[in-house]
DNA sequence: GGGCTGACGTGGC
DNA sequence: CGCCACGCCAGCC
């Protein structure tokens, strides 16, 4: 289901965002902007980030979501080790080389 | 309604 | 590659 609501909001996007994030393969990553676009709402990367902030990393690989520069999320210190543990090697500056790991649909 | 915030994106330097 | 200014927009006072 895509774009069921007429107006973007954390509530209307959450389910779809979760759905997409759950499908990111191990060893791959997606960006906030790409996820927003896949939901049918460009320019709403920030809203996706907002959703991820309160997301349960329990059954949701939110560590596979980074920004368009490959930068990791602040305040989510486990992200680095989680990525490394599934084969995503970061650059010396701590960023994900999107050229190699971005999940192309 | 108004102003500020921020797990963002893009372009410029 | 890094830093910065701008544009963006829902959420929260």
pLDDT by residue (tens digit) across A61-102? 999 999 999 999 999 999 999 999 999 999 999 999 999 999
Instruction: Say what angle helices A10-22 and A45-53 make with each other, to 10 degrees.
Output: 80
Please, what is the average pLDDT of chain A? 94
Q: What are residue A14's phi and psi, to 5 degrees?
A: -45, -55
Alpha helix stretches (DSSP H) within chain A: 10-22, 32-38, 45-53, 78-85, 98-101
Identify the band that residue A105 occupies on the pLDDT scale cut at 50, 70 and 90.
confident
Q: How far is the CA of A99 from the C1' of B12 (A)?
A: 22
Strands A65-66 and A30-31: parallel
| Mean pLDDT (whole number) for A33-60 | 96
Using the CA of A11, which nucleotide's C1' is the nearest one? C10
Contact, A33 CB vs strand B, < 7 Å:
yes
Strand C nucleotides, any atom under 7 Å to a protein CB: 1-2, 8-11
Using the CA of A54, which nucleotide's C1' is the nearest one? B7
Q: What is the pLDDT of residue A7?
A: 86
């Amino acid at each position: 289901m895509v774009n069921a609501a007429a107006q973007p909001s954390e509530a209307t996007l959450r389910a779809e965002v979760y759905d997409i994030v759950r499908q990111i393969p191990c060893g791959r990553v997606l960006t906030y902007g790409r996820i927003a676009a896949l939901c049918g709402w460009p320019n709403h990367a920030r809203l996706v980030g907002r959703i991820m902030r309160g997301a349960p990393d329990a059954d949701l690989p939110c560590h596979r979501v980074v920004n368009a520069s490959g930068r990791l999320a602040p305040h989510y210190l486990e992200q680095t080790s989680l990525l490394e543990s599934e084969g995503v090697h970061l650059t010396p500056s701590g960023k994900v080389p999107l050229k190699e790991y971005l999940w192309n649909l």
